[in-house]
Amino acid sequence: MEPWNMAVLAGIAVVLVIIAVYCVLRNRKINENGIEADAVISRVDTDYDSEGSPSEIYFVDYVNAEGQTVTAKLGNPPMNAYQGMPMRIKYLPEKPRFVRRVK
């Protein structure tokens, strides 16, 4: 393999590791410091990857501690989730659009 190909692959690997670490740390922070709230799945969108395979993206609506309604992408939807499904979530007050379902 050409040296520049190796450098490109190494660069991609580093970026993927950084993204993975960021997601793990953010999720840990939400789990440890997040505020619980009642939410409902308000919208289900379909996204397609580069090969045309569909995946569903779930959005929830909830009321934060300040009384504002927030719409956020759900990070860990349950199996068989559906629009209108109620659930408990945790969110970070400083980043209210980052939510995780309370299991």
d(CA 87, CA 81): 10
Cα 20 to Cα 13, 25, 30, 102: the distances in Å are: 11, 9, 15, 21
**Banded model confidence at residue 15, pLDDT cuts 50, 70, 90:** confident
Residue 98, pLDDT above cutoff 80: yes
**Banded model confidence at residue 26, pLDDT cuts 50, 70, 90:** confident
d(CA 100, CA 103): 9
- State pTM to two decimals: 0.72
At residue 58, the pLDDT reads: 94
At residue 95, the pLDDT reads: 87
Residue 89, pLDDT above cutoff 80: yes
**Banded model confidence at residue 1, pLDDT cuts 50, 70, 90:** low
The domain locations on the chain are 3-101
Pick 26 or 65 by higher pLDDT: 65
The percentage of the chain sitting over the pLDDT mark of 90, rounded to a whole number, equals 40
At 15 the three-state DSSP class reads helix
